[in-house]
Amino acid sequence: MDAASSHPGDLALSLESADAILSASEPEAEAADRKLEKLPDALIAELWRVADGASCGLTQAEFGAALVAVGRKWNHGLPAQTHGSDAQREGFYRSLKLADFALAQACALGKEIAWQRFLHLYRASVTQAAIAITRSQTLGSELADSLYSELFGLKEQDGRRISPLASYSGRGSLIGWLRTTLAQRHCDHHRRTHREEPLETIDLPAPAPMATPQAEELQLLSGAVARTLKTLEAEDRFLLSSYYLDRRTLLDIAHLLKVHEATISRRLKRLAETLHKELLIQLKGAGLSERKAQEALGADPRDIEINMRNLLQNSQSGAFQEQNDSNQEQR
């Protein structure tokens, strides 16, 4: 696991100012080498759009500075003392989990909108992983809460909050990095509280590795998702599109449909359960075992080659409103 930078706020420096500082303090040859690492504005803009940096409140300058920093740290994925070509450097940046990287860096810089998105995406998964590691609901919740506090940056140095998220490189998934960090924090806790007991005698369950579905399984999953979504009624597609794609809140959707927020919450929960069961049935019907089917359902949505918005775009809200009015009249 990468060590966190002692000055995560430094990532917010523009590339031009960083080059000026380096040129003033390094030999001319080294400064020239670093200048070559400056990314083209067009590439930064493209990768920033791919990462959806705007939704995290991350500017292109902040994103570009973070990319250059991680490229220098890992030498663009090349062996030490090896100077890569422009194409190799660009390939390294394109290989990163750009959306995860942008979100982590925005959180490290204290972007409020990024933290809201982070908690929405990862809070439940991190808590579940912590409970699995500690084998205790109480201890797991405490471990997860302590990690949130640390990630938010309770420690300060030179007036700046220090967040371990600044050290996330994007070379692996953010959820995998979070699980690894949880496991390490759990071991650290045992070292502090069980100094008289050898660590080897403590039976610490390792976090279960995330199985990566094969291409064939992803193809089966893509087909199952497409078929299942097409069978949904317009009102159900509208709810899924509004909540998961347009990122509207339950309250926003409730106001739009003129129903109570709790109604939307219950409807989405039932939809999620129904879709999970239906997809599981289809995958098992296609020849996958129970375990393989469950692993496929845990795939990263970005690995599924279907356009979710196109599948849901024909949704209409009127049907749901009419059904709700009908229900009210029957009562």
DSSP 119-182: HHHHHHHHHHHHHHHHT-HHHHHHHHHHHHHHHHT--EETTEE--GGGG--SSS-HHHHHHHHH
Q: How many residues does the chain have?
A: 331
* Nearest of 117, 108, 95 to residue 11 by alpha carbon: 108
pTM: 0.49
Contacts of 160 (CB under 8 A, 6+ apart): 7, 8, 9
What is the domain partition of the chain in residue ranges?
Answer: 1-210, 215-330
Q: What is the pLDDT of residue 16?
A: 41
pLDDT below 50 — which residues of the chain? 1-36, 196-197, 199-204, 206-207, 209-210, 315-331
pLDDT in tens, 100-125: 999 999 999 989 999 999 999 998 88
Q: What is the pLDDT of residue 190?
A: 64
DSSP 272: H
Q: What is the pLDDT of residue 308?
A: 66
Q: What is the pLDDT of residue 35?
A: 45
Q: What is the pLDDT of residue 140?
A: 86
Residue 92 backbone phi and psi in degrees, to 5: -60, -50
